[in-house]
Amino acid sequence: KCQAEMRFDVLAKAGLARRGQLFLPHSVVETPVFMPVGTQGTMKGILPEQLIDMDCRILLCNTYHLGHRPGHKKVQKAGGLHKMMNWPRSILTDSGGFQMVSLSKLMTIDETGVNFESPHTGEMMELPPEKSIEIQQALGADIMMQLDHVIHVLTTGDVVQEAMHRSIRWLDRCNIAHTRDDQALFPILQGGLNLELRAECAAEMAKRARVGIAIGGLSGGEEKSQFWRVVAACCAALPPHLPRYVMGVGFAVDLVICSLLGADMFDCVFPTRTARFGTALVRKGGQLSLNQKRFEDDFRPIDEKCECDTCKNYTRAFIHSVINKETIGCHLITVHNIKHQLDLMADVRKSIELDQVEIFLNNFLSDVYGPIDDEGSKGKEIPQWVRDAVNHMGYKLSC
Amino acid sequence: MVKFGVEKKTIFGRLGKIESWGPVEVQNSTPSFLTYLRGGHIPHLTWDVAGKQLELSQKHIFQLTLPSLVASAETIKKFGKGVVKFCAIPDKSAVHLSPFDPLGKLPGGYNDMKSIAIWTKNGKVSLDVAKYRNIINSFGCTSFESLVDYDCPKDAGSKRLTKTSERTRHFYEQLFENDEKVEGERIITIGGGFSKFHREKAANDLGGFEKTDGFNIEFHDFWKGEIDVNEMEELVKSVITALPPAKLRIISGPFSPPIILSLVKLGVDLFDSSWPVSIAEEGKAFCLSDDFASSLNCSRYEILDFNNEKFADDFTKPFDNCQCYTCRNYTKGYLQHLVNTHELLASILLVIHNMTEFDRMFKLIRNSISTSEDL
Ligand SMILES: [Zn+2]
Ligand SMILES: [Zn+2]
């Protein structure tokens, strides 16, 4: 499929939320979608076939890591990322900039690009927007991300505006450098927590976006009350034909609220990373640390409602017994956690399709925050920011 | 019972058939191997992956090693549905319980009159007969090995050797005393360390027991380090000549292809797949030479070590003629990348290839025996 054939169809709407299909060269992605992260060109201990069994359509790989090991030239020699990792469906690569900023000790940004000290070799390296696109074109993902000027989300003052404008200029440079027809390039909205800047950025970047667009600069420690307002403002400011990708979002409540505000795509390392520490995601109460002694003789599946291979065949007690001893302990939780996220998004899509968002939202929130009978837990308060966002969307909560 | 018959004897070794393992029909030809399990799994493979991506030529007879599960013995008892269900091992499988892990450690000096020591990731566990019997019954495996005092170092004097063989015999008798219920087929373990005399004596002593269809020759002293093959062969010979010839002979341990070939020659029927797993865990894959087992001294094999950077730029198939999942779908360069970045997928893919090649090795061995002249 070439650029012209990549498109986003909105199949149904409910309030601000959309249920859509994104047509990419390697798969049709059902949105709203959660994209699991396979940082180094592999999904931690999971075979591509297992992801396909779960009907995962798209995953994310990190340009920064792959550019370093095995190196983008080698990936190109291997026939591209899809072929190298035996993944026939869609892939999104980030620009590499974010990781440079977060993993590198010495980092400066000027008009040319990002300058950083390689944590591996110690030398100073340059990453101009053109280079980021060159690397991503060698990797060959279905979706590439522009290099943007990342600033900390809590930064204030003129810097925010400068970074936003610079990101627009860099987008133009990325667009010029982008020559492969079978890859989409997503701009990344900046503007920090300033809603006016966000709106200005959205207007400029939407003009330049062809397939989809991302909302960047969030999930960096800002207040949730600000987070959801920025997402809502960006979604409202963007034209409907572009799928909206909120970067770095992976907690269940965030996924649900952002989807209902009109966002379409998400990614986060959280479900896979937390699995490696023995934590399983569940509908009731959010998560279980399976290494706790209380699971030693617990013969229930991780989540009774889950139909993943792990929950169909294994007990919490078994997983508890192998955690930190055998790698399969980690594999089993990873399989469950990814399936859990994909199922959650399938439920969100269904509620939009059936126009039953309010019922879904109430059930979902009472699962996450409500009392858990068999554990004697009384439950938690629904956070104010969730109530505010729900109010904004015009739904009523029964609890 | 384990229904086993010897079909042919040649200078290459003997060909046999296991029709059933307890109530499980298997129809496996020997020489062959028990599928090594740790934590109730082929290491690194969930049962979903093993079932879908690992294709071997014969049915699995699993070797369930105890050290990784012994800490959960009480839990498994409470669970009440057996170890097979607890570990999600495929239903109706033949599962053989072994108290030892051929890839684990087994230092000397910790056995006593009443118990033997096995070693878990959290340290020593003493296993006495009552505890072992409890485990056998609550695990509900198809078969199990009798306990053995394995602690017979090279410098052990004859007094010590006599004591260990007495203990081993005592462990065996105690297991069944007072008509205790002990579920599953019994495989008798023969110890004796480095003494030909005591190996032979143990075989004579225990070989006469009825109600067993197979013998496990305990050889943990040869699991690690440089192996003196001649010494090992001499010891195996002394045991095997004393054992009833119609019964199954098992040797467990991470033995490389040439050692397996030489043990097959002496009449050993079953091994285990700990060796292909152990090299996978080191980031290595192996491949047999084209003429492997075509004659008695053709035992060459090649090892690709994916820690080596020379594979980083090589995006060709790992092994041209291998049809395993790994070789069909991935390249040397990608495997090098996975090993280099310590990704969990590396061990998964290497275990799948190495197990497939290990399985093919036994097919080649059986072919050579079947085309050799009878003795
Ligand atoms: Zn599950
Ligand atoms: Zn192979």
pLDDT digits (tens, 9 = 90+) for B357-369: 999 999 999 999 9
Nearest to A86 among B47, B87, B330 (CB): B330
Instruction: With respect to residue B281, please indicate whether it lies within any of the assigned structural domains.
Output: no
Q: Does A300 touch chain B (CB under 8 A)?
A: no
CA distance B314 to B238: 48
Told to judge if A94 belongs to the known catalytic residues of this protein, a careful annotator would answer yes
Domain count, chain B: 1
Nearest to A40 among B86, B331, B341 (CB): B341
CA distance A36 to B213: 51
Q: Give A-chain residues touching B330 at CB under 8 angstroms.
A: 86
Which residue is catalytic, options A142, A254, A264, A267?
A267
Q: What is the complex's ipTM, to 2 decimals? A: 0.97
Q: Which residues of B are annotated as a binding site?
A: 322, 324, 327, 353
B345, B347, B348: which to substitute to probe chain A, counting the most A Cβ within 10 Å?
A: B345
Per-residue b or e along A217-227, where b marks 16 or more CB atoms closer than 10 Å to that residue's CB: bbbbebebebb
Residue type, B211: K
Q: What is the pLDDT of residue A116?
A: 87
CA distances from B354 to A329, B100, B286 (A): 22, 22, 6
The closest alpha carbon to B269, from B225, B196, B213, B352, belongs to: B213
* Phi, psi dihedrals of residue A302, rounded to the nearest 5°: -55, -50
Residues lower than pLDDT 50 in chain A: none
Instruction: With respect to residue B370, please indicate whether it lies within any of the assigned structural domains.
Output: no
Nearest to B347 among A325, A327, A335 (CB): A327
CA distance B170 to B189: 12
Tokens of B211: 């109600």
Told to judge if A267 belongs to the known catalytic residues of this protein, a careful annotator would answer yes
Q: What is the pLDDT of residue A2?
A: 67
Tokens of B356: 């497939």
The closest alpha carbon to A372, from A285, A301, A297, A278, belongs to: A285
CB distance A358 to A268 below 8 Å = no
Instruction: With respect to residue B352, please indicate whether it lies within any of the assigned structural domains.
Output: no
Q: Give B-chain residues touching A69 at CB under 8 angstroms.
A: 337, 340-341
Task: Quote the domain boundaries for residue B194.
Answer: 2-275
Task: Say which residue the tokens 């010839």 belong to.
Answer: B245
A291, A318, A319, A335: which to substitute to probe chain B, counting the most B Cβ within 10 Å?
A: A318
CA distance B203 to B242: 6
Q: Which residues of B are annotated as a binding site for Zn(2+)?
A: 322, 324, 327, 353
Q: What is the pLDDT of residue A1?
A: 53
Interface of B with A (CB under 8 A): 38-41, 43-49, 52-53, 68-69, 71-72, 75, 78-79, 86-88, 121, 312-313, 315, 329-331, 333-334, 336-338, 340-341, 343-345, 347-348
Report which bound ligand comes closest to the CA of A341.
1
Strands (E), chain A: 7-14, 17-24, 27-31, 33-36, 58-61, 90-93, 107-110, 113-117, 124-127, 143-145, 184-186, 188-189, 213-215, 244-246, 265-268, 279-282, 286-289
Q: With 0.90 as the threshold, say if the pTM is over it.
A: yes
From A41, which residue of chain B is nearest by alpha-carbon distance? B338
Q: Quickly count: other Cβ atoms within 10 Å of residue A140's Cβ.
A: 24
Q: Which residues make beta-bridge pairs with A215?
A: A189, A246
Q: What is the pLDDT of residue A377?
A: 85
- Flag if A74 and B87 touch (Cβ within 8 Å): no
Task: Say which residue the tokens 């989807």 belong to.
Answer: A259
Give the dihedral sign, CA B158/B163/B164/B169: positive
DSSP A37: B
Q: Does A124 touch chain B (CB under 8 A)?
A: no
Instruction: With respect to residue B331, please indicate whether it lies within any of the assigned structural domains.
Output: no
CB distance B165 to B202 below 8 Å = yes
CATH of the domain at B121: 3.20.20.105
Q: Give B-chain residues touching A297 at CB under 8 angstroms.
A: 75, 78-79
CB distance B369 to B361 below 8 Å = no
Alpha-helix runs per DSSP H in B58-208: 73-79, 82-86, 129-139, 158-176, 196-207
Burial class of residue A161, CB neighbours in 10 A (0-12, 13-18, 19+) = middle
Report which bound ligand comes closest to the CA of A333.
1
Angle at which helix B129-139 crosses helix B158-176, to 10 degrees, equals 50
Residues lower than pLDDT 70 in chain B: none
CB distance B261 to B247 below 8 Å = no
Which residue is catalytic, options A94, A148, A303, A343?
A94
The closest alpha carbon to A145, from A175, A113, A108, belongs to: A175
Nearest to B52 among A49, A310, A315 (CB): A49
